[in-house]
């Protein structure tokens, strides 16, 4: 990305006064629904433990809370609390598998956000419709 070039430009070359720009921005913000709720939801990402949990669930959906606790070097009670907060905020969902509860990301938007943040998948985990890359050829 070229840091000297803006990411967005106005479609019109016509100059907009500062006062008109402020009015446009205020109108835009007045139409935005749920900004406070979104800020609260995004605040959950500021905790490294919760972000590590999300990275783990992105890397491999269907992980048990005890396995997450081991992976992030946290107590199970701390991990369970973090999972409850993430579930309550709509970041993740719990699925019962027999007597176990397994966790996964709640939706594709969160999945894409984690990709944008640099979270990879583990080998063997891929998106539906994707094909795994071919393994490297065996040495001769």
How far apart, in whole angstroms, are the C-alpha atoms of residue 110 and residue 98? 26
* CATH of range 47-118; options 1.10.10.10, 1.20.120.1810, 1.10.1070.20, 1.10.3720.10: 1.10.10.10
Contact at 8 Å (CB) between 69 and 18?
Answer: no
Kindly state the average pLDDT of the residues 84-89.
Answer: 94
Q: Note the pLDDT tens digit of each residue in 87-113.
A: 999 999 999 988 999 999 998 888 898
Residue 20 — left, alpha, or beta (φ > 0 → left; ψ -120 to 50 → alpha)?
Answer: alpha
Q: Note the pLDDT tens digit of each residue in 11-64.
A: 777 888 899 889 998 999 999 888 888 888 888 889 999 999 999 999 999 999
How far apart, in whole angstroms, are the C-alpha atoms of residue 133 and residue 140? 20
């Amino acid at each position: 990305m070229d840091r000297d070039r803006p990411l967005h430009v106005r479609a019109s070359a016509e100059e907009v006064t500062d006062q008109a720009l402020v009015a446009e921005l205020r109108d835009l913000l007045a139409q935005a629904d749920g900004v406070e709720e979104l800020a609260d939801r995004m605040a959950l990402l500021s905790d490294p433990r919760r972000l590590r949990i999300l990275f783990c669930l992105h890397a491999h959906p269907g992980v048990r809370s005890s396995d997450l606790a081991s992976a992030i070097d946290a107590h199970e009670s701390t991990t369970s609390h973090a999972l409850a907060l993430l579930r309550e905020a709509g970041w993740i969902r719990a699925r019962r598998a027999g007597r176990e509860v397994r966790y996964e990301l709640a939706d594709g938007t969160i999945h894409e956000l984690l990709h944008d943040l640099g979270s990879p998948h583990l080998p063997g985990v891929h998106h539906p419709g994707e094909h795994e890359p071919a393994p490297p050829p065996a040495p001769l």
